[in-house]
Amino acid sequence: MSFDLAVLISGNGSNLQAIIDAIARNEIDASIKIVISDRMDAKGLERAQKANIATYFIEPAKYQSKEEFNDALSQILLKHQVSLTVLAGFMRILSDKFVAKHLGRLINIHPSLLPNYKGLNTHQRVIDAGESEHGASVHFVTPKLDDGPIILQSSIPVLKSDNSDQLKQKIHKIEHIIYPKAIELISKGKIELKNEHVYFDGVVMTEQNRYYKIN
Ligand code: GRF
């Protein structure tokens, strides 16, 4: 059975591009059925079109409430029968009902070493706190923001000379490795969410084995 993805974006879509490229290199045995954006001007939509992937612009202003927007989004995913929904810079908080419906089949990437630095503006906050390490995390989405069980993480050292933009670029580089890797593992059935825990080959993942070392 084919493993079909939906990728949800709001902006640049560099993570989407990394996934497109990993599929093209046959590193992931999956296909992107649809790329959905809540912004018409998202650069990621162009990236998808260039790769001949169907795109859909879901216009938030068309819906009376957050719930209606979420229901419409759910309908689109259902229609495309996707196996996994990948949030890649999608700047909207999904409703609890949406999350419950897609639990275990909905993942996100966050630019920090979760559970530290949930929310926005992580790079500057890491610098301001004088951290020596920063990173990115792929996690299953649960109702609480940036809080779901972690699938993979990787880190980089924070240099004294790093500014927020430089850190952002470095974090993007590791995101572009761990996000396709996590999708590959899920598509192979190696990783799954059960009873609020991430299992790898049937065994609960620990902090050690969810750390992805990048050389
Ligand atoms: C990434 O840093 C990701 O961690 C966060 O949003 C950003 C999206 O970047 N959730 P891009 O649109 O994939 O370039």
pLDDT recorded at residue 17 = 98
Name the residue at shortest CA distance from atom 6 of ligand 1.
Answer: 89
The residue type of 13 is: G
Whose C-alpha lies nearest to ligand 1, atom 9? Answer: 89
Q: What is the pLDDT of residue 78?
A: 96
pLDDT < 70 regions, the chain: 1
In the reported structure, the alpha carbon of residue 89 is separated from the centroid of ligand 1 by a whole-number distance in angstroms of 4
Q: In which element (H, E) is residue 97 found?
A: helix 96-102
Nearest CA to ligand 1 atom 2: 111
- CA distance linking residue 130 with residue 127, whole number of Å: 5
Query: DSSP code of 10?
Result: S
Which residues carry out catalysis?
A: 110
Q: Which residues line ligand 1 (CB under 6 A)?
A: 9, 11-15, 88-89, 109-111, 136, 175
Predicted local confidence at residue 63, as pLDDT:
97
pLDDT value at residue 208: 86
- Identify the pLDDT of residue 2: 87
Could you tell me the pTM of the whole model?
Answer: 0.97
- Give residue 168's pLDDT: 98
Q: How many residues does the chain have?
A: 215
Ligand 1, atom nearest to 110 Cα: 4
Q: Nearest CA to 175 among 85, 121, 112?
A: 112
Residue of the CA atom closest to atom 12 of ligand 1: 13
pLDDT at 181: 98
What is the pLDDT, as a whole number, of residue 214? 87
How far, in Å, is the centroid of ligand 1 from the Cα of 13? 7
Strands 84-87, 197-200: pairing is unpaired
To test ligand 1's pocket by mutation, which of 93, 109, 125 has the most ligand atoms within 8 angstroms of CB?
109
Tell me, what's the pLDDT at 215?
Answer: 74
CB atoms within 10 A of CB 8: 27
Query: Could you tell me the distance, in angstroms and rounded to a whole number, from the CA of residue 15 to the centre of ligand 1?
Result: 6
